[in-house]
Amino acid sequence: LSGKFSDIFDRLRRRGALSESDVNDALREIRLALLDADVALPVVKDFVAKVKEQAVGAEVLRSVSPGQMVVKIVNDALIEALGGAPSPLNLFAPAPIPFLMVGLQGSGKTTTSAKIALRLKTRERKKVLLASLDTQRPAAQLQLEQLAQKAEVVSLPIIPGQTPLQIAQRAMETARREVYDVVILDTAGRLSIDLALMEEVKAIRAAVNPVETLLVVDAMTGQDAVTTATAFNEAVQITGIVMTRLDGDARGGAALSMRSVTGAPVKLAGMGEKLDALDEFNPERIAGRILGMGDIVGLVERAAANIDQVEAEKLAKKMAKGKFDLDDYASQLKQISKMGSLSGILGMLPGVGKIKQQIESANLDTTVFKKHVAIISSMTPAERRAPDILKASRKKRIAAGSGTTVQEVNKLLKQFDDMSTMMKRMNKMGGAEAMMRQVQ
């Protein structure tokens, strides 16, 4: 189905498709931006190749240049590659839930352990036990104890002479006995990946079977991020990544590298030395930071929003005039996924608050929308303009054509009828008319 309405908008929207040379030109600059942001070279190559496939042939929005359009496509692909939405810590397991912190020395494991403890205590009301398994440096266990005190979280009493594995087991026993919700096990790091370190974390992992195994990585880590992440992932199958020092200058390209090679989501972002300086990792924000082209992305997004606005205003005008048929209804249903909701359109009509509420509560379930579009597309143009002519035999034909039932066709007609009635009432009130003059 492409009613006259959506045709108009398709024409309005299309400025031509992106050619291969448009895309190549833009991607050259983007490749440099990604490398500059410390995304590892093989990851850049892979990512750029994927984006190219997506971008060639894509439509360019009106008032946007091909290069700008590519930037927007890259930005969206980057958000997707970074996981799309924030990924929370997994707390869906029987208590005590073990978290294992791994990473190189100085990456921020101990600080992050205390930060996570504080976060779980204050936000999730969890009873958390911190335990340092770092027997490498004499001061390491004391460091965690001090941070725990600051966070007002309990840390496992230090018993000199125990091995990391013994400490881990004692922590779990204590947690079971004293009914803790979460146990955070902070391990020792090394300056670089070595066999002894990997054997140690492997043994601990096997002993406690952690629900989260979090790799802590400094955002300043450049090309090495891939090696580090791969090594730890092979040894202990990480479930998430924490990037520290995102309060610094680093653009955070390592996030993309590590996510691509491990498939594990980046869950948290360290934003400073203080214990409350821990944010949920936000793919959208980091994508902007990695690409460093926020202005262009914003511009394209505004252009897209304007086009939606034009379409919405035209629909609103038809609604106000009471000349709203099933074609319009179908094109509106398709629009709704982009607009947010019908109330987005109605939001443009001041003084119709009550009716807006009624329409919102008129059971406009999004899962039904696709079905409705299918039903309408099985109607003839005459039927769409004048649904009154729909009698039993026509309804049967439409149901068969759209893979639905006559009941569903009736439901759609009822809904459309309700909407038309509301619109007519809205017109009588005059509020919409008055408003439409403003829109015009």
Residue closer to ligand GDP by CB (options 249, 388) is 249
Phi, psi (deg, nearest 5) at residue 4: -55, -30
User: Residue 142, interface with ligand GDP (CB under 6 A)?
Assistant: no
- Of 84, 88, 106, 403, the residue at the interface with ligand GDP (CB under 6 A) is 106
User: Residue 111, interface with ligand GDP (CB under 6 A)?
Assistant: yes
User: Residue 136, interface with ligand GDP (CB under 6 A)?
Assistant: no
Q: Is 104 annotated as a binding residue?
A: yes
Contact partner, 350, from Mg ion, ligand GDP, none, Cβ < 5-8 Å per class: none
Using the rule CB under 6 A, give the single segment among 61-69, 118-126, 252-260, 264-272 that binds ligand GDP. 264-272
User: Residue 109, interface with ligand GDP (CB under 6 A)?
Assistant: yes
Contact partner, 247, from Mg ion, ligand GDP, none, Cβ < 5-8 Å per class: ligand GDP
Q: Determine contact, residues 184/116, Cβ cutoff 8 Å.
A: yes
> Shortest distance, CB of residue 17 to ligand GDP, whole angstroms?
44
User: Residue 145, interface with ligand GDP (CB under 6 A)?
Assistant: no
Q: Determine contact, residues 362/356, Cβ cutoff 8 Å.
A: no
Contact partner, 108, from ligand GDP, Mg ion, none, Cβ < 5-8 Å per class: ligand GDP
- Of 98, 108, 164, 387, the residue at the interface with ligand GDP (CB under 6 A) is 108
**Identity (one letter) of the amino acid at 385?**
R
User: Residue 247, interface with ligand GDP (CB under 6 A)?
Assistant: yes
User: Residue 135, interface with ligand GDP (CB under 6 A)?
Assistant: no
Give the separation between CA 371 and CA 375, rounded to whole angstroms. 6
Contact partner, 273, from ligand GDP, Mg ion, none, Cβ < 5-8 Å per class: ligand GDP
Q: Is 106 annotated as a binding residue?
A: yes
Residue closer to ligand GDP by CB (options 109, 205) is 109
Give the separation between CA 180 and CA 370, rounded to whole angstroms. 47
Residue closer to Mg ion by CB (options 13, 109) is 109
Give the separation between CA 308 and CA 347, rounded to whole angstroms. 14
Residue closer to ligand GDP by CB (options 247, 308) is 247
Closest alpha carbon to 184 in 163, 168, 198, 199: 168
User: Residue 68, interface with ligand GDP (CB under 6 A)?
Assistant: no
Number of chain residues interacting with ligand GDP (CB under 6 A): 18
Closest alpha carbon to 244 in 255, 230, 236: 255
Using the rule CB under 6 A, give the single segment among 16-24, 103-111, 161-169, 402-410 that binds ligand GDP. 103-111
Q: Taking CB under 6 A as the rule, which mask of x and - marks residues 204-223 in contact with ligand GDP?
A: ------------x-------
User: Residue 244, interface with ligand GDP (CB under 6 A)?
Assistant: yes
Residue closer to Mg ion by CB (options 144, 376) is 144
User: Residue 105, interface with ligand GDP (CB under 6 A)?
Assistant: yes
Give the separation between CA 159 and CA 206, rounded to whole angstroms. 22
Instruction: Judge if the upstream peptide bond of residue 96 is cis by omega within 30 degrees of 0.
Output: yes
User: Residue 332, interface with Mg ion (CB under 5 A)?
Assistant: no
- Of 272, 294, 347, 351, the residue at the interface with ligand GDP (CB under 6 A) is 272
- Of 189, 240, 253, 288, the residue at the interface with ligand GDP (CB under 6 A) is 189
Q: Taking CB under 5 A as the rule, which mask of x and - marks residues 100-119 in contact with Mg ion?
A: ---------xx---------
Using the rule CB under 6 A, give the single segment among 10-18, 80-88, 271-279, 359-367 that binds ligand GDP. 271-279
Residue closer to ligand GDP by CB (options 113, 335) is 113
Residue closer to ligand GDP by CB (options 57, 106) is 106
Binding site for Mg ion (CB under 5 A): 109-110
Binding residues: 103-110, 186-190, 244-247
